[in-house]
Amino acid sequence: MPDWKKLIEGKIALAKRGAKPSKANENARIPAGQKQVNNFPILDLGIKPEIALNSWSLRVYGLVEHDIKLDWAQFQAMPQITDISDFHCVTRWSQLDMDWQGVRVRDILALAKPLNSAYFATMHSYDGYTTNLPMEALLDDDVLLAHSVFGKALPREHGGPVRMIVPKRYAWKGAKWIKAIELHEHDKRGFWEVRGYHNEADPWLEQRFSDDE
Ligand SMILES: Nc1nc2c(c(=O)[nH]1)N[C@H]1C(S)=C(S)[C@@H](COP(=O)(O)O)O[C@H]1N2
Ligand SMILES: [Mo]
């Protein structure tokens, strides 16, 4: 005869453990195939461009009504937000609760007034890196041009003065050392997207490689 009391108590204990907002919930924030880290690794192409704030600018061009170029003071004068998000790198590490400060990409794009035919964007960086996103993804609430992380100026190795953060995509979609956003009608793959990385890059769908497109 089974020891019912023990069995039921055991089940209840298990159920309670599952319901607690503890480790189980935390794990659900790590997409499949990822491992949680806390040391914020650095990934680049071997170049970490140094851009003085007085020579920094951000241009928005292509299919826009106004070709704009913001300098540092103009960028700082834009509405500032804090955006806490999780960072997932396709090389299988994720860091949770990254605390970024900066300007919504949507607000910058609004200054340039994208044409109706602007369906896609290429982000251009000072190190020659590029990455692409559909306009729809760029206009999301949580897509940020970050100049600070955890309340401090973004260090050069992490893309300072300014980088893009796209929380719903793998981290390679977030251009470090960004210098321009170019809008087009048709999609154009970026640096990694022509070298075997997936065009969409949704970490929850494990869109890592272009073979899976
Ligand atoms: N300009 C530029 N942006 C870039 C990269 C790069 O090499 N150059 N690497 C990408 C990749 S692959 C990742 S995972 C993240 C890493 O950001 P981190 O170095 O701040 O962790 O930046 C992305 N943005
Ligand atoms: Mo990456």
CA 111–ligand 2 middle distance (angstroms): 30
Burial class (CB in 10 A: 0-12, 13-18, 19+), 121: buried
User: Alpha-carbon distance 98 to 82, whole Å?
Assistant: 10
Q: Say what the pLDDT of residue 22 is.
A: 41
pLDDT of residue 114: 98
* Tens-place pLDDT, residues 122-152: 999 999 999 999 999 999 999 999 999 999 9
Residue-level pLDDT at 28: 83
What is the CATH number for 86?
3.90.420.10
Structurally, the chain folds into a number of domains equal to 1
Ramachandran area for residue 173 (φ above 0: left; ψ -120 to 50: alpha; else beta) = alpha
pLDDT above 90: residue 17: no
pLDDT at 24: 44
Cα 183 to Cα 144: distance, rounded to the nearest angstrom = 17
Residue 26 reports pLDDT greater than 90: no
Site to probe by mutation for ligand 1, drawn from 94, 131, 172, 178 as the one with most ligand atoms within 8 Å of Cβ, is 172
The rounded Å distance from CA 72 to ligand 2 centre is 27
For residue 15, pLDDT over 50 is answered with no
C-alpha separations of 86 from 40, 43, 96, 139 in Å: 11, 16, 4, 18
Phi, psi of 33 (to 5 degrees): 80, 5
**Four-CA torsion 39, 43, 48, 49, nearest 10 degrees:** -110
pTM score, two decimals? 0.89
Flag whether pLDDT at 19 surpasses 90.
Answer: no
- Identify which ligand lies nearest to the alpha carbon of 172: 1
What residues does ligand 1 touch, defined as CB less than 6 Å away? Answer: 41-45, 89, 125, 127, 129, 158-159, 171-172, 174-177
Greater confidence, 27 or 111? 111
User: Could you give the CA distance from residue 108 to residue 26 in angstroms, rounded to a whole number?
Assistant: 33
For the stretch 179-192, pLDDT in tens is 999 999 999 999 99
pLDDT of residue 10: 46
On the question of pLDDT at 16 being above 60, the answer is no
Distance CA 112, CA 66 (A): 5
Work out the angle at residue 172's Cα, subtended by the Cα atoms of residues 169 and 176, and round it to the nearest 5 degrees: 115
Rounded mean pLDDT of 22-43?
Answer: 83
The residue range of the domain holding 174 is 4-212
Determine the Cα–Cα distance for residues 123 and 59; give it in Å rounded to an integer. Answer: 10
Q: What pLDDT is stored for residue 6 in this prediction?
A: 56
How far apart are the C-alpha atoms of 2 and 170, rounded to whole Å?
A: 49
Token pair listed for 173: 């979609």
pLDDT above 70 for 39: yes
* Cα–Cα distance, 66 to 208 (Å, whole number): 35
Residue that the structure tokens 């949704």 belong to: 202
Section 172-185 average pLDDT:
98
Give the model's pLDDT for residue 101.
Answer: 98
59/27 Cα distance (integer angstroms): 39
Which pLDDT value is given to residue 8? 42
